[in-house]
Amino acid sequence: MSDIPGFVHIREEGPREGFQIEPGPISTEDKIRLVDALSATGVKHIQIASFVNPRAVPGWHDAEAVIAGMKAAPGVDYTALWFNERGLQRALAYRDKLQVSGSLILCASDVFSRKNLNRSYEEHLAVLRQQTISLSLHDVPITRVGVMAAFGCNYSGDVAVEQALAAARDGIAIAAEAGHRIHEITLADSMGWTTPARTEKLVGAFRNAWPETTLILHLHDTRGMGVASAHAALKMGVTHFDSTVAGLGGCPFAGRPGATGNIASEELVLLCSEMGIETGIDLEALIEAGRLAEQIVGHPLPSTLLRAGSLDACRAAA
């Protein structure tokens, strides 16, 4: 019996991921244009901004203005990213537009934790315990644990499966201490280390450890293995993925300037479609949103479909 799912949920993170790493400057109006275009594609979850220190991530100095200016579409969940109390307070101010839920994000690599979060793994655990207190005080449910560098690290090399499992266990335990139950675990290939075989191994280990918990894969295409790894995960029945329109984005702390970032949403939708998997997303509209993203940033983006078009468009013209 096949484990290939009938429906896959794709979480669009292009605005947040892309505008954090683009040199810019990119206007607030253009950021809003892209969010609104994505809202019309059938995507049901869009991460639109980062509430982070603008000195560290200047591309998101205008997070509040983008959220205030975008048009919230019915049936679409909009989220933002934050890592500290100040970021949480900024997100809570827009609870009328944003779905605010708690995520405990850890790094499977201590070196990457220091690079990305400016604190050691152990120091970050203490911060997460404080975050759970704050989230609970604001009645924000903690539903997800995320493991960054789950597949490997540009600074410390291969990440053992047990390291990724241990990071997830720590996050789940911290949530439980505050009375929260984790429903989702995100495995983030923050620096593009995964391959189909590595994906199968890690997904299998997490499935065995937490069979009732939804796995979300956040894959980067840094070394050209992103879509192939998504294919491997789909064959194992994974139903939730993060991706970015046109392949926008990448990690600014990965130590590889200019490297390709996330898998392109339209390539993932095409893959699903050709496998007979529904996504609820209009691929042609998504490709047009990708072309808009490319126009906004002013340089070519990684997605192959921006130039090749979809297979259905070719079939219709044949």
Are 38 and 15 a contacting pair, CB within 8 Å?
Answer: yes
Q: Where are the alpha helices (DSSP H) in the chain?
A: 14-21, 28-39, 63-69, 85-92, 110-117, 121-137, 161-177, 196-209, 226-235, 265-274, 283-297, 305-308, 311-317
User: 256 falls in which pLDDT band (50, 70, 90)?
Assistant: low
The pTM assigned to this predicted structure is 0.94
Domain covering 103-243: architecture: Alpha-Beta Barrel (3.20)
Query: What pLDDT was estimated at residue 253?
Result: 59
CATH topology of domain 7-100+278-318: TIM Barrel (3.20.20)
In which residue ranges of the chain is CATH 3.20.20.70 found? 7-100+278-318, 103-243
Using CA atoms, how far apart are residues 287 and 290, in angstroms rounded to an integer? 5
- Is residue 254 over pLDDT 60? no
Q: What CA–CA distance (Å, rounded) separates 294 from 124?
A: 36
Q: What is the pLDDT of residues 52-111, one digit of tens each?
A: 888 888 899 999 999 999 999 999 999 999 888 899 999 999 999 999 999 999 999 988
pLDDT of 276 reads 97
Given the residues 107, 153, 251, 272, the one annotated as active site: 251
| CB contact at 8 A, 245 and 301 | no
Question: Which residues 6+ apart lie within 8 Å of 42 measured at CB?
Answer: 279, 280, 281, 282, 285, 286
User: Is 251 one of the catalytic residues?
Assistant: yes
Bridge partners (DSSP) of residue 31 are none
Quick check: 315 pLDDT over 50? yes
**pLDDT bucket at 1, cuts 50 / 70 / 90:** very low
Indicate if the alpha-carbon torsion angle 247, 75, 213, 138 is positive or negative. positive
**For residue 115, what pLDDT is reported?**
82
Residue at token pair 């959220």: 67
At 48, the amino acid letter reads I
Has residue 21 got a pLDDT over 90? no
* Tens-place pLDDT, residues 197-224: 999 999 999 999 999 999 999 999 989 9
pLDDT surpasses 70 at 129: yes
